[in-house]
Amino acid sequence: MLVLIGFDQVVDAGQVVPSRPADRDLHSLGNPEQIRVSRVELDLSVDFAKKELQGTATLAFRRMPGCPSGIPLDLDTRELKIERVAAGVTDEALTEVRFELGHEGADPVRPESDLKRERLLGTRLRIFVPDDATRVRVTYRTAPTASALQWLDPPRTAGRKQPFLFTQSEAIHARSWIPLQDSPGVRITYAATIRVPEGLRAVMSADQLPGREGQSDARFEMTQPIPPYLIALAVGDLAFRSLSPRTGTYAEPSVVAAAASEFVDTEAMIKAVETRFGPYRWGRYDLLVLPPSFPFGGMENPKLTFATPTILAGDRSLVSLVAHELAHSWSGNLVTNATWRDFWLNEGFTVYLERRIVEDVFGPDRAAMEAVLGLRELREELAAFPPRDQVLHIDLADRDPDEGMTRIPYEKGALFLTTIEHAFGRERFDAFLRAYFDHFAFQSITTADFERYLQAQLLDSDPAAAAKLNVQAWLHEPGLPPGFPEPTSTRFAVVTTAARDWLEGKIPAEQLATRDWSTHEWLHFLQALPLELPPEKMAALDKEFALTGTGNSEITQQWLLMAIRNHYAPADARLESFLTSIGRRKFLMPLYGELKKTAEGTTRAKAIYAKARPFYHPIAVESVDRLLGTK
């Protein structure tokens, strides 16, 4: 059944097919406009010795209306070793078919532009499927260097006895472990059978099916159509703690108690979003705490958020990350950016929802402090990036989508939505958002789709309020349009005064009223100090508050930045231990970046990095290599 919506889109059973070239996904080599994959069934063995996944991916697909006969099926791959491909109508009747991987058999002298494209996007797998075929089975193995996979030897885990594997598919890494149409506009359901060594447990971004008698393999099913970047797998020595009937946390046994205590508010967070923006549609919501080399803070894999252990502060002060990944269950997983140009639709909406959750669950003070810190980061990023990268609807042609992963889509996106909220009032904006999630549920949409919907559902209803908004500037122009509501925090105002008084010598460190300060107030305090701080001031703070020894990762990072800048030697060892034990890119990049500012710092950065590199995830390695020029 085909339905025409707007002027340029065809919806076929929940799939949105952009027909305007501007809306095409430039980061996939697949051909979903002609033949579209709708389901993936994996049967994979996890081989820790070889650092390899081996097995099959069986894909169900269908020809789009008007697709001429003889058209092959094009998939994305990266470094996959393809052994065999079979196609047919049923699994019982698959016959081997011809396939082409990349430029096999093509001109041996290939232009540099080709090679660059391959480095960026991987290798196209072209399968010559018969016209009547609806299924194809690819037998393959992954490369040990697969960009989505991190294989950890036992010493890199908390328990030190068992190895660990986890995937990170966003943005375009799913293709390095599964041959598929790796575009967020191509939604698929999936099933998986995962064969793991004795004693290890596999978890995925899906429902786990009950075990089969006498079989040790784990089976999973995701019945809702998701974009491929949300397929996720982790294997390790994992324990589980329940948090509520539908929430819980997985972590290594020695970490799971801390995780369960940190995440107690998860159910309350889900209820907060449900009340305002509609039901949680994914059944369970669990959190998996990964080993410290996980390159991100969190990843919103459906039903199972992946999280860095660096948010386990002990005082629940960093759980806005949980709010964030949970919010993606609406913005991102339910309504998805159709291309990586539209990434702000995922992240800007999510930061907006994150702050609303924090406000509901922890109060407006905390939400305000996080908004102030967020805007500060945004201003720093705007100052650091060229105009073309400051645009929400960013041009990513010939670029790695990772390059669009700055604070800009997050914070500028959220600020745009806050500005709309202020123009129309919270009540109307909440109703708009709720309807938006219903309207586009399980679809992948572009910025243009959002603009049309905003115009029709909100702006047209109140031209006076709409006149206050410059949508064009917010979405398509660099910088920050004037007239947005600047967040302020009264608690921060108190801290700012304290910082000034201490700096001017009016009060000594021991008299600072820090007893009730949250992580946020500490961060604000440190950020309120001048970039250059004399050694005795650094020492006085450290003596009074033991900042070099703090266990809070955010405060540690802020303190270490100051230590590098001010050549504060007593923190040297901590800097090295931090950089060699934590692989979260958000922490690494500013610290290496700060070191790189001086010749002596650069030498140190390279020495530390030489030790740390084997421990980092391929995604972090890529970034740090680029920063330090160590590739």
| Nearer Cβ to ligand BES (321/335) | 321
Under rule CB under 6 A, residue 300 binds ligand BES: yes
- Is 381 assigned a catalytic role? no
- Beta carbon of residue 296, minimum distance to ligand BES (angstroms, whole number): 3
- Beta carbon of residue 410, minimum distance to Zn ion (angstroms, whole number): 7
Per CB under 6 A, the segment of 20-28, 53-61, 202-210, 320-328 that binds ligand BES is 320-328
Among 86, 171, 269, 361, binds ligand BES (CB under 6 A): 171
Residues 488 and 382: their CA atoms lie apart, in Å, by 20
Q: How far apart are the first and last CA of the chain?
A: 51
What are the E-state strand segments in 497-601? none
Q: Which of the residues 190, 229, 410, 616 is marked catalytic?
A: 410
- Is 325 assigned a catalytic role? yes
What are the E-state strand segments in 331-450? 335-337, 443-445
Under rule CB under 6 A, residue 170 binds ligand BES: yes
Under rule CB under 6 A, residue 328 binds ligand BES: yes
Helix boundaries (H) for 389-446? 407, 413-424, 426-439
- Beta carbon of residue 347, minimum distance to Zn ion (angstroms, whole number): 5
Q: Is 462 exposed, middle or buried (0-12, 13-18, 19+ CB in 10 A)?
A: middle
When CB distances are held under 5 to 8 angstroms depending on the partner's kind, the choice from Zn ion, ligand BES, none that residue 586 binds is ligand BES
Both structure tokens of 115: 């090679």
Q: Which residues pair with 196 in a beta bridge?
A: none
When CB distances are held under 5 to 8 angstroms depending on the partner's kind, the choice from Zn ion, ligand BES, none that residue 321 binds is ligand BES
Q: Is 257:345 a contact under the CB 8 Å cutoff?
A: no
Closest by CA position to 82, among listed 100, 58, 106: 100
Among 203, 255, 259, 299, binds ligand BES (CB under 6 A): 299
Closest by CA position to 322, among listed 346, 300, 343, 296: 300
Residues 556 and 558: their CA atoms lie apart, in Å, by 5
- Beta carbon of residue 435, minimum distance to ligand BES (angstroms, whole number): 24
Under rule CB under 6 A, residue 352 binds ligand BES: no
Please tell me the number of Cα atoms within 13 Å of 367 on its side-chain side: 18
When CB distances are held under 5 to 8 angstroms depending on the partner's kind, the choice from Zn ion, ligand BES, none that residue 297 binds is ligand BES
| Nearer Cβ to Zn ion (151/296) | 296
Under rule CB under 6 A, residue 231 binds ligand BES: no
Under rule CB under 6 A, residue 296 binds ligand BES: yes
Q: Is 318:270 a contact under the CB 8 Å cutoff?
A: no
Q: Is 56:195 a contact under the CB 8 Å cutoff?
A: no
| Nearer Cβ to ligand BES (162/444) | 444
| Nearer Cβ to Zn ion (43/354) | 354
| Nearer Cβ to ligand BES (43/286) | 286
Phi and psi angles of residue 465, each rounded to the nearest 5 degrees, phi first? -65, -40
Q: Measured between alpha carbons, how far is residue 495 from residues 125, 326, 512, 518, 539 in Å? A: 57, 30, 9, 11, 20
Which three-class secondary structure state does DSSP give residue 242? strand
According to DSSP, residue 536 is labeled H
| Nearer Cβ to ligand BES (170/542) | 170
Contacts of 455 (CB under 8 A, 6+ apart): none
Per CB under 6 A, the segment of 139-147, 177-185, 293-301, 451-459 that binds ligand BES is 293-301
| Nearer Cβ to ligand BES (82/313) | 313
| Nearer Cβ to ligand BES (137/328) | 328
Q: Which residues pair with 452 in a beta bridge?
A: none
Residues 108 and 125: their CA atoms lie apart, in Å, by 18
Per CB under 6 A, the segment of 17-25, 294-302, 428-436, 521-529 that binds ligand BES is 294-302
Closest by CA position to 141, among listed 217, 43, 17: 43
Q: Measured between alpha carbons, how far is residue 60 from residues 92, 229, 302 in Å? A: 14, 18, 21
- Beta carbon of residue 250, minimum distance to ligand BES (angstroms, whole number): 18
Per CB under 6 A, the segment of 158-166, 235-243, 270-278, 298-306 that binds ligand BES is 298-306
| Nearer Cβ to ligand BES (423/523) | 523
Write down the residue that tokens 């994996």 correspond to: 42
Count of residues that interact with ligand BES, criterion CB under 6 A = 15
- Beta carbon of residue 165, minimum distance to ligand BES (angstroms, whole number): 18
Under rule CB under 6 A, residue 356 binds ligand BES: no
Q: Which residues pair with 299 in a beta bridge?
A: 306
When CB distances are held under 5 to 8 angstroms depending on the partner's kind, the choice from Zn ion, ligand BES, none that residue 32 binds is none
- Beta carbon of residue 577, minimum distance to Zn ion (angstroms, whole number): 28
Among 200, 405, 414, 459, binds ligand BES (CB under 6 A): 405
Amino acid, res. 91 = D
When CB distances are held under 5 to 8 angstroms depending on the partner's kind, the choice from ligand BES, Zn ion, none that residue 405 binds is ligand BES
Under rule CB under 6 A, residue 396 binds ligand BES: no
Under rule CB under 6 A, residue 297 binds ligand BES: yes
When CB distances are held under 5 to 8 angstroms depending on the partner's kind, the choice from ligand BES, Zn ion, none that residue 25 binds is none
Residues forming contacts to Zn ion in the complex (CB under 5 A) are 347, 350
Per CB under 6 A, the segment of 266-274, 297-305, 358-366, 388-396 that binds ligand BES is 297-305
The H helix count followed by the E strand count for the chain is 20, 25
| Nearer Cβ to Zn ion (350/446) | 350
Phi and psi angles of residue 337, each rounded to the nearest 5 degrees, phi first? -60, 130
Residues 250 and 290: their CA atoms lie apart, in Å, by 9
When CB distances are held under 5 to 8 angstroms depending on the partner's kind, the choice from ligand BES, Zn ion, none that residue 296 binds is ligand BES
Residues 3 and 51: their CA atoms lie apart, in Å, by 46
Among 321, 326, 369, 582, binds ligand BES (CB under 6 A): 321
Q: Is 341:331 a contact under the CB 8 Å cutoff?
A: no
Dihedral, CA of residue 90, residue 95, residue 98 and residue 102, to nearest 10:
50
Under rule CB under 6 A, residue 227 binds ligand BES: no
Both structure tokens of 356: 């609303």
Q: Which of the residues 41, 52, 325, 411 is marked catalytic?
A: 325
Contact residues for ligand BES (CB under 6 A)? 170-171, 296-300, 321, 324-325, 328, 347, 405, 410, 586
Active site residues: 325, 410
